[in-house]
Amino acid sequence: MPVRRVELLLNKTIEHLGLVGDVVKVRPGYARNYLLPLGLAEPPTPEKIEALKGARAAAHAEMEALRAARAATIEKLEAITLVLNRSCNDQGALYGSVTQRDISDGLIELGYEVDLRAVRLSQPIRRLGDYQVLIQFDRELKQEIAVRVKADRDLDLGDDEAPAEEAVESEGQGESGGEGAAEVAENAAEA
């Protein structure tokens, strides 16, 4: 059974639906429960369409200006790396998580007008590291930015590093024919 649609004239611009003065087809429930009670739309008539032509032209010019500003923002975002400092445990797991709001707020602090809805993050970031996050305003206006999540303090990695340093020193002794670790370090510094 095909879904019936209702044709309405928009009195205000509604994101992802249309500009003021557009005649759109929507589902009856959306029209009955949202658009009509809030005065966002009404049944179209030639007189009403003509009356909204001026508002439509103004809304169209506003949308073009917004699109130009967003395109400029996308160009600026090309070489940016957003660094966020967060609390974490010694294994690099964050106590909270980095969300779309955190990334949007960080970009706004840097002077980039990026709305929360433009940040495309499939799931919150829960570990330290480098991530690629998509910023998308429209289908064509999108840019991936680098987000680096760093610890807000020096991490104590424990005893895991000590054996690795000893292994490097012992490898140096084997290559140098039994020289002491101090001599290996001096030879490396001279080279």
Residue 131 has pLDDT above 50, yes or no: yes
Residue 59, in any domain of the structure: no
Shared domain check, 45 and 15: yes
How many distinct structural domains can be found in the chain? 3
Shared domain check, 96 and 118: yes
Q: Which residues of 148-175 are buried (b: 16+ CB within 10 A; e: fewer)?
A: ebeeeeeeeeeeeeeeeeeeeeeebeee
pLDDT tens-digit map of 88-106 = 998 889 998 999 999 999 9
Residue 42, in any domain of the structure: yes
Average pLDDT score over residue span 10-16: 89
Mean pLDDT of all residues in the chain? 81
Q: What is the pLDDT of residue 119?
A: 93
Shared domain check, 139 and 83: yes
Residue 180 has pLDDT above 90, yes or no: no
Residue 46: give its domain's CATH number: 3.40.5.10
pTM: 0.64
Shared domain check, 145 and 78: yes
Q: What is the pLDDT of residue 32?
A: 93
Shared domain check, 117 and 87: yes
The domain of 12 spans: 6-51
